Structure 1
Amino acid sequence: MANPTDRFTTDRIDETHELIASDKVEGTAVYSPAQEKLGTINHFMVDKQTGHVAYAVMSFGGFLGMGNSYHPLPWKALTYNTNLQGYVVDLTPDQLKSAPSYTSESMPNWSDDLYTHQVDDYYEGRIGR
């Protein structure tokens, strides 16, 4: 008799019209409106109370994971583009370079409201959503 959990590992549905598994979002490209690749989604931060994704953390630059910088982007600032099979954020590469970011050596304190307000304030005037 087959193990009932085998169905979930072999026939897993990880994307529907409105839902997608987190592992399919991680690694997805992020583009500027001019279709320049800015980076890829490294991970995202979920609000524990609401269950909503608050930020997508984009990996930018580096080579083979070394020298990367990480840019938290408000989730609502991203739009999925089916033609690009990636997300588009209304930023130029220069705007991204001056955006809040961190490295693996300088991780932010996500529990510090000052940090998340700094991120939100940066994008508030730039993202027209």
Structure 2
Amino acid sequence: MNQTSPNPTAATGDDRSHSLILANRVIGTAVYSKGGEKIGHVDDLSVERVSGQVIYAVMSFGGFLGIGEKFHPLPWSLLDYDPDQGGYVVPLDRAQLEAAPNYDRYELVQLGGPSHLNYGEQIFGYYGPYGSVPYW
């Protein structure tokens, strides 16, 4: 059934009162430290294939024009959306995030592969003190 809505926000999906959001609207959303400093943006999402659960928000740090760029998979459970800032807030500061497990683009595609538990143990081991628990 195709319905036409007179409300333009319904057509674009820009109604911020909804609890669901399309992934392509999450990618590019700013990420802020607990102190309010903008520290990056969501570069990608990592979704568990069977359950459909978002496991990581992948944030990139550093680099210039893709050279030297490192990717930081943040457990999704650590991100809280703040409508006033129009972005996600994490309970860490820039230095804590820069010290977190990070990967180059090639390594990033290995997440979820045969060696994922090694990556997952590193990631959730680092973020455990901030309240993140492994999804497995």
8 Å contact kept, 2:40–2:59:
yes
For 1:75, the equivalent position in structure 2 comes to: 76
Residues 81-125 of structure 1: CA deviation (Å, up to 9, x unaligned): 111100011111111111000122544621221111110111001
8 Å contact kept, 2:71–2:108:
no
Report the CA distance between 1:39 and its aligned residue.
0.8
Task: Give 1:128's match in structure 2, choosing from 124, 127, 131.
Answer: 131
For 1:50, the equivalent position in structure 2 comes to: 51
RMSD: 2.3
**Unaligned regions of 5+ residues in structure 2, if any?**
6-10
The alignment-based identity, stated in percent, is: 43
Whole-angstrom CA distance in 2 between matches of 1:48 and 1:92: 30
Q: TM-score, normalised by structure 1?
A: 0.82
Q: TM-score, normalised by structure 2?
A: 0.78
8 Å contact kept, 1:102–1:108:
no
For 2:13, the equivalent position in structure 1 comes to: 13
**Unaligned regions of 5+ residues in structure 1, if any?**
none
